[in-house]
A and B are shown apart, each in its own frame.
Chain A
Amino acid sequence: MKHLPKHLRPRWRYVAVGIESWPGADVDRRAFQRALWFAAQNLVGDVGSADIDASLLRFRFADAAGDAVVRARRGEVERLRAVLATIDEIDGEPVGLSVRGTSGTVRACEEKYIRRPPEAFEERNVAFAAAERTASVRGDRVDLDLPEGRVGATALDIRDN
């Protein structure tokens, strides 16, 4: 089919999304895409989903952190933000999504907002609340493995053993 003339082509915005989760979580591209579709469906319905016209262009996830580039129609970025805010788990894994920024081209979006993959976790024994715990440490971030479940902390909360 012939391309649309330039002034009639849809205008897009490219939204860079940061993904954070607990150590050991596994989120793949398909699951993220599905979560995005369902979240849009649930929040803004068929009509809104068609308006936003979101699609996932880039996706990377490893070691409980990742990023994605999501394309949306220009003028619909705010609604896409709302949809992204309502994604709190993907495939049963709790995730925290944050919008790092938006750009007019994929390239600008990647150059500005997509960072190098974070360094790997380091498993360590640390002292937290006067007890020894195992933790996954990455820079200032410390994810503790407590009997009651995972707890997010920082270097301020622990003493190294």
Chain B
Amino acid sequence: MYEGVHAYPDGRATVARFAKTAAAYGYEGVVVRNHGDAQAEYDPERIGDRYGIDVVPGIEIRTDDPGQAGGLVGNYRSKRTIVCVHGGSLNRFAVEQPAVDVLAHPMADGDVNHVLAKSAAENGVHLEFNFARVLRAEGGERVQAIGALKKLRELVEQYDAPYVVSADAASHLHLEAPRELLALGEAIGFDRGAIESGLAAWGALSDRNRRRREDSFVEPGVRIERRDEE
């Protein structure tokens, strides 16, 4: 299982500290999904080797202008393994772009309806079940967040849209072990299996994208095999 995190300077822990903590909690990988204007400097392989965890470079594109977002997606697609789009006003833009991997927190300052869910399913854009406000908000705000997750869950089930799950940690203190997220998910109405596959989906996306970036990759389903000539 993998988790998507905001590392320093976007968050309050460095990539290394996240990797250390996530490895101790039993994660197989962390996706660094810093916002575009707060990128971290780090060496994924060195950190990954040290703590025994897969460190995946990602980005969360944040802008209000779909035109600019289009440019940024094109730009970062080849530079980062996982490309997320900061949800809200860009929800519609993101679900229509097959080049986008994850639409982050679509319910935070925006909404998802049947049209968007369908489009996300067609384009393979993963909708995120973001647990940040369930974990760290209280009162009415949390009630709304749980309600929004329920709505998103119903749409995702209806249209079989792909999804990821994340605690959206901005420090090592925010990280939750997978078992805690499973328990919390269950408490707010999710299947345990759904949370598990949502955490695993980050890893599946990284694997797929890494394969696509190999030289032998031609297009989905077509790959150049090496043949040993005598």
Question: Within 8 Å CB of B21, what residues of A?
Answer: 96
Please report the total number of B residues contacting A with Cβ < 8 Å. 34
Chain A: interface size category: 20 to 34
A103 to B30, alpha carbons, bound, how many Å?
A: 30
Chain A 39-67 interface 0/1 with B at a Cβ cutoff of 8 Å (1 = within): 00011100000000000000000000000
Chain B 119-158 interface 0/1 with A at a Cβ cutoff of 8 Å (1 = within): 0000000000000001110100010000000000000000
Given contacts A85-B135, A85-B181, A96-B173, 5 further A-B contacts (CB under 8 A): A78-B182, A96-B171, A98-B25, A142-B17, A153-B17
**B177 close to A (CB within 8 Å):** yes
A157 touches B173 (CB 8 A): no
Question: Within 8 Å CB of B173, what residues of A?
Answer: 20-22, 88, 94-96, 152
Chain A 94-129 interface 0/1 with B at a Cβ cutoff of 8 Å (1 = within): 111011000000000000000000000000000001
Main SS class of interface, B:
helix
**B8 close to A (CB within 8 Å):** yes
Main SS class of interface, A:
mixed
B14 touches A154 (CB 8 A): yes
Contact A81 to B12, CB < 8 A, known contacts A86-B134, A154-B20 = no
Question: Within 8 Å CB of B171, what residues of A?
Answer: 94, 96, 152
